[in-house]
Amino acid sequence: MTTIQPQPFAPPLAPIRLRTALARIILEQVLDRVPVDVVLPDGSRLGRSHASGTEPSGIRPVVELRHPTAFFERLARDPKIGIGEGYMDGHWRAAPGTDLADVLLPFAERLTTAVPRPWVALRRIVDRAVPREQRNTLTGSRRNIEAHYDLSNDLFASFLDETLTYSSALFDRTRSLRSQSLEEAQLRKVHAILDEARVTQGTRVLEIGTGWGTLAIEAARRGARVTTLTLSREQAALARQRAEAAGVADAVDIRVEDYREARGRFDAIVSVEMIEAVGEEYWPTYFRALDGLLAQGGTVAIQAILMSHDRYLVTRRSFGWIQKHIFPGGLIPSLQAVSEVTERETELRLTQVHTFGQDYAETLRRWRETFLRAWPLVQRLGFDETFRRKWEFYLAYCEAGFASGYLDVAQLRLERAA
């Protein structure tokens, strides 16, 4: 929006004032299309806030805009990042009785239609390129991973289940969700992807992205020999302890090592929600590495967060709130992008796709509820209220993405072409 220039006689603050006024106008027009009510400090509603329809519950979500001037100024300076940062700073919140994910869901459902078409052209002006320091070079990848996964093992343990699995669970949809614990659903996910990779007694397994070791432990319990790679020293240390406690340490080799540094041949290569951290620039390198490490007749199984190809093309060069505050260097691929890069760069081909995006929405809902309940413990670890709001927004934002279908998650099997 910086193309809006002041006249020569305008005061120095005119550009930001103009952008701030424009940000408010655009949000008011968005609210004409999205069934969410935004209430100002004086009790009035922003704009008309009368978009038709309600949510499935029959109740319209309500937002309290507590500091309108500060919020619109932030939105004017950085439209893509300002909403999340406004929540972090307490400029807005879900009203009492309204869940944050319920606020975000209507926007996610109307992502391509909420902004009136005349304003969509401004995207080229407001989009920011991904900073070069977030490139996933060998050193950049370590820095990006450490920024998230080395926050604190105790932090993650406060809201994850007993398996310490930080990826989508897989629920049994023939049973009620309430009857299934998150631990049970996470183990179902782990064994589903091990099945996709055909991991059995004697299988040589390479895992890219150790997490806290659950998949490696379960593969070892099947009788496999596992080499697992992570860039997080915090994760590696705890994963080693857990493998020892499970009695499988002799079958699990946990390495602090980049996938580009791996050597050997493996019958099965498994990677759960790691491709999102690779970065588009390095997808060819990543898939060529998998191809080169896979033994003849072997199988690759990847769990990947996905978005539609159209949305991927729109977002691939754009710097957003998640990249700035949660996953530096990250990019979510499309299924088409994965297929195209593997066909262009390798002999690997997609042979199986199983999607379960709604299960991720449920997983995130449970994580967020547990995180908020555990906040007193997390706070004692040294994290402040801004961090709490940041992670609450992150988990709710992602939940809305999967619940709306804007995001999906899938287990993908790749094999060499016959």
Asked if residue 389 is part of any domain, the answer here is yes
Asked if residue 289 is part of any domain, the answer here is yes
For the chain, helix, strand, coil in percent to 5 are 50, 15, 35
Q: Are residues 165 and 36 in the same domain?
A: no
Q: Are residues 214 and 287 in the same domain?
A: yes
Host domain of residue 237? 135-416
**CA–CA dist 123, 208 (Å, integer):** 36
Greater pLDDT, 150 or 198: 198
Nearest to 220 by CA among 193, 253, 192: 253
Q: Which contiguous run of DSSP H or E holds residue 351?
A: strand 348-355
Helix count and strand count (H, E) for the chain: 18, 10
Query: Would you say residue 122 has pLDDT above 80?
Result: no
Confidence of residue 142 (pLDDT cuts 50, 70, 90): low
Asked if residue 201 is part of any domain, the answer here is yes
The pLDDT mean for the chain works out to: 89
**CA–CA dist 410, 400 (Å, integer):** 17
End-to-end CA distance of the chain: 52
Q: Are residues 50 and 193 in the same domain?
A: no
Q: Are residues 178 and 66 in the same domain?
A: no
Looking at the structure of the chain, the number of domains it has is: 2
- State the CATH number of the domain containing residue 411: 3.40.50.150
Query: Would you say residue 318 has pLDDT above 90?
Result: no
Query: Would you say residue 117 has pLDDT above 80?
Result: no
DSSP codes, 94-137: EPTT--HHHHHHHHHHTTTTSS-HHHHTTHHHH--PPPGGG--S
pLDDT tens-digit map of 14-37 = 477 888 888 898 888 889 889 999
Q: Are residues 91 and 212 in the same domain?
A: no
Asked if residue 3 is part of any domain, the answer here is no
Q: Are residues 103 and 187 in the same domain?
A: no
**% of the chain at pLDDT higher than 70:** 86
